[in-house]
Structure 1
Amino acid sequence: MARILITPRSLTAAPPAELGRLRQAGHELIFSTAGQTPDEAELLRLVPQVEGWLAGVEPISPAVIAAADRLHVISRNGSGVDNLPLADLERRGIRVARAMAANATGVAELAVGLCVAACRNLPEVCHGVRGGGWPRPKGREIEGAVVGVVGAGAIGRKVAGILAEFGAKVLALDPFRPDLGRLAGRVRYVERAELFDGADIVTLHCPMSAEGAPLIDAPTLASMKRGAIIVNTARAGLIDEAALVAALDEGRIAAYATDVFEPEPPAAGGLAAHPKVIATSHIGGLTDESVRRATDLAVDSLLQHLGEACHVAG
């Protein structure tokens, strides 16, 4: 049967039982270095002779795809594909499958937690109490705040629903404006300027633009309310980092709470070390439930597509 490469950090560190279905189907599993994001050199070493690939968020270059001489399918254990050279994959006829919405609950709950942490200065308070102090900074409430949700996909809608239940006035920005369903009447679609100019909290749940330009640049930061909070559980490149640091230093942005960096892990002493940054280590989808759902969907896709490839070859 097929050789399948497994590279997501969450699966190589502690391979879950869901991968057993691949072995039961007769496939051979090849793992990248446990618990680490593989670099290009490691991928170039592993991809030859691989027919299926269960991939994570690691950057995959055209050179890696060129070396994958037998690859039929890449199955993501998430929904994002901006780490893939899609044009090269299309030219080769390599299929791309995604585990849509599998980690939506985990990421949404973390985003809401980061909103609360930023509003109540939780890292500062925790650090102070742990060190023997008794800091009591005045926080702010989400109830009554204007929250801008950028991206109304599965994750963004979950975040919008939770924050609406908190009593926030929720604005949404999405070029496709998907049906809000039960959120209709509690969440309102707006244009870009209204969201960024009016929001007390902005939370990002969208992909990068095709051009790769940041969504939030210096002019956007300048237009936002003084003291606004930005939460990012989507992509580090959505924000111009240099402009963000300047806005944090000047106090125009009160806090930046993020689960994503470029590169990962971030350089020591960089953005993650800023006193107004709340940093987590890309753990949004790292829950037992999210990993199980995503792995199941990714395995389903591999079994389906590799079965079809074997049928065609036969």
Structure 2
Amino acid sequence: MKVLVTALSFGKHSDEPLRILQDAGLEVHKNPLGRPMTEEELCQYIPDYDGLLVGVDPVTTKVLEKGKKLKVVAKHGVGVDNIPLERARELGIKVTNCPDSNSEAVADLTFALMLAVARKIPLADKSTKEGQWLRLTGPELYGKTLGLLGFGAIGRRVALRAKGFSMEVLAYDKYPDEKFARENGVILTGLSEAIEKADFLSLHLPLTPETRNIINKTTLGEMKQGAFLINTARGELINEEDLLLALEEGRLAGAALDAFSPEPPDKNNPLLKLNNVVVSPHIGAYSYEANKRMGMAAAQNLVDALQGKTPPNWVNQ
């Protein structure tokens, strides 16, 4: 059986994920383009393959329907918003993902971004290297209120890190882990309360029709004057025009963004010009450890599905 691997970071820091596929007797072909494939390119490649291990490439309905031999789409990641799950199920194609594989890495980056935007670290670094000596001032994280929108694997790990800063943690989730919250001193709240009380509001929601643009003119207006917004989830959770206005008007003290819509952002995106905005190129999952865990999980999901077993992370049953 033949497998197409389009995820560019698959096995980047370890050959163990690739060995899982090869040891299962699979013929593995890697993305030859050096970038995510387009819908048209996937349609050209996919008819020859039994399995697809995919990153952010658009696995559209058209792509799935072209995959006459396709049995499984294994996401090298957690979010599956680039794959039409229901249509895949109708076609008998299993879709899997890799929950928990990048949780520690994204939680680390979340705190790195919070500290960076609060203490103006990128601006301090840049100005000092340019020969200036700006004694920039910013707020402490210690003792502040952290609002989490999304309390899944990543949100829970962010909450654990917040304990080291003696932060009060408020969390909103449609299906919260009440036991974890109770044992770790996290206060479960409604959406509005988490937004209104947070000094730092951090996004850890999946992208769904309900969550798209959840940060908009209305919700930004509910945030505390001088609060900070952090997004290590999906760019589409934020209406960027509304965020820009809130930052320019001084209602928010700053924002730290690891995700944009589209990606990469246009170089003329005005958010990139603001000194109170810290950005990174969607690197939340890019730790050595997370890359290995994710690759091995994606590979095992794909192998199990092709061998007729139930993959451990089958999301469209």
Deviations along 1:88-135, one digit per CA (max 9) or x if unpaired, are: 101101101111100101111001100110110011101101111111
Moved >6 Å (runs of 4+): 12-15
Q: Is the 8 A contact 2:20 2:300 kept in 1?
A: no
User: For residues 171-250 of structure 1, what are the structure 2 equivalents within 5 Å?
Assistant: 171-181=170-180, 184=183, 186-211=185-210, 213-250=212-249
Distance in 1, Cα, partners of 2:26 & 2:173: 41
Aligned to 2:21: 22
- Name the CA shift for 1:16/1:249 in 2 (closer, same or farther; >3 Å): farther
Distance in 2, Cα, partners of 1:212 & 1:89: 22
- Structure 1: unaligned runs, 5 residues or longer: 310-314
Q: Is the 8 A contact 1:51 1:73 kept in 2?
A: yes
Letter in 2 for 1:257: A
Choose between structure 1 and 2 for higher RCO, CA contacts under 8 A separated by at least 6 residues. 2
Cα deviation, residue 60, structure 1: 1.8
TM-score where L is the length of structure 2: 0.92
Distance in 2, Cα, partners of 1:184 & 1:48: 50
Letter in 1 for 2:200: I
Deviations along 1:54-93, one digit per CA (max 9) or x if unpaired, are: 1112222111111111110111122211111112101101
Residue identity over aligned pairs, in percent, reads 34
Aligned to 1:100: 99
- Name the CA shift for 1:129/1:218 in 2 (closer, same or farther; >3 Å): same
User: For residues 141-160 of structure 1, what are the structure 2 equivalents within 5 Å?
Assistant: 141-160=140-159
TM-score where L is the length of structure 1: 0.93
Identify the range of structure 1 (226-235 vs 20-29) with the bigger mean alpha-carbon deviation. Answer: 20-29
Give the RMSD, CA atoms, in angstroms: 1.8
SS at match of 1:11: coil
- Name the CA shift for 1:266/1:180 in 2 (closer, same or farther; >3 Å): farther
Letter in 2 for 1:178: D
Aligned to 2:300: 300
SS at match of 1:248: helix
Cα deviation, residue 308, structure 1: 1.0
Letter in 1 for 2:77: G
Identify the range of structure 1 (88-97 vs 28-37) with the bigger mean alpha-carbon deviation. Answer: 28-37
Aligned to 2:312: none
Cα deviation, residue 274, structure 1: 2.8
- Structure 2: unaligned runs, 5 residues or longer: 310-317
Cα deviation, residue 206, structure 1: 0.9
Distance in 2, Cα, partners of 1:277 & 1:138: 15
Cα deviation, residue 172, structure 1: 0.4
Cα deviation, residue 177, structure 1: 1.4
